[in-house]
A = this chain, B = another copy of it.
Amino acid sequence: MTKAYAAESEHSGLAPHGIERRELRDDDVAIDILYCGVCHTDIHYVENDWGGTLYPVVPGHEIIGRVTSVGKDVKNYSEGDLVGVGCMVDSCRECSSCNQGLEQYCLNGMVPTYNGEDLHDKSITYGGYSEKIVVSDRFVVRVPEKLDAAKAAPLLCAGITTYSPLRHFGIKEGHKVGVIGMGGLGHMGVKFAKAMGAEVTIFTRSESKISEAKKQGADNVIISTDEKQMEEAAETFDFLLDTVPVQHDLNPYINCLKVDGTHILVGLLEPVDPALQAGQLVMKRRVLAGSLIGGIPETQEMLDFCAEHDIHCDVEMLDIKNINDAFKRMKKGDVKYRFVIDMDTLKQS
């Protein structure tokens, strides 16, 4: 049995639990987990906000650890390697998306790191709030030793979710990029866009966040609740990276895009309300796009980019026994910017 923290029901909160990790298959990598980031998605699954949670659920998809053993066909990893696992642990591996390294868009459905169903034995997948995990080598990435492993954990979700669209949509030097929302995703978006050479503006609702935004490296800050500031920003941005996960009015932001500008949604999964003004797209050939995490090759590229540019996530370390309090604080937005569980605290418990 492997020690883990699991929720038994939507009201139970997380508590110690024993889970089974599978025997190594030929392409498997066994990982001793060092750190696991705490993503807002974890809360949604624990509390069954989206329906479909399979209890007991062991959350966690921002996993960093060291390889303890590998299956006989594994060539790229060996014992002691520092590795990461993100939001996916498998996919069909043969559709057009998988063949392009876009496993997150697998046409047959990717297998999420937790609350998913293994394609081989139909067992339920358990995430990273756990001592160990066993994952097929295709879904393991190498973490450069140069990175601070704890601060690298959230790169596996918050990092790749922002890096991928910035790369895909071609952000580069000279672009004016706005980042909407300054949480776990937003603060990573700022770091990446800056490292790609863009001039970066943070849109925030509160004046109290201006100094923090500047500390994150933003060149400018716009208070999104200030109509005058928003009007002055009209038609000045090439890209907007919108990390806000709840319904919000997109129209004032889209008005900030230049001709051919692109508004990229990475957080919003709900109906757009207030209604999107189609004329704002048509009259300026603007684009509204979405993007979901990132593929495995791109996740590796992102980690290497972070090592090269000395980029990491701002984290608050967490003892796993305080995880339920951490969830409460996250709901209030009270974390800068990501909790990361030190898995030693589980092993010693």
Contacts and interface: CB of A to CB of B under 8 A. Distances in A.
A226 to B, nearest CB: 23
B282 A277 contact: no
Interface in A241-281: 259, 265-266, 268-281
A271 B282 contact: no
A287 interface: yes
Centre residue among A168, A259, A279, A287 by max chain B CB count within 10 A: A259
A289 B279 contact: no
Contacts of A266: 282
Interface residues of A, number: 36
Contacts of A270: 277-279
A291 B285 CA distance: 5
A288 interface: yes
A279 to B, nearest CB: 4
A177 to B, nearest CB: 18
A105 B288 contact: no
B259 A278 contact: no
Contacts of A165: 285
Contacts of A274: 271
Nearest to A262: B287
A213 interface: no
A235 interface: yes
Contacts of A259: 96-97, 102, 105, 107
Centre residue among A96, A276, A286 by max chain B CB count within 10 A: A276
Nearest to A271: B275
A107 B272 contact: no
A290 interface: yes
Contact of A276 (B107, B271, B286): B271
A284 interface: yes
A283 interface: yes
A292 interface: yes
Contacts of A268: 278-279, 282
Contact of A272 (B272, B283, B284): B272
8 contacts: A107-B235, A271-B277, A275-B275, A281-B288, A285-B289, A285-B290, A286-B289, A287-B289
Kindly list the 8 A-B residue pairs having the minimum CB-CB distance in the complex, ordered from nearest: A281-B290, A282-B290, A271-B275, A269-B279, A268-B278, A272-B276, A105-B259, A287-B289
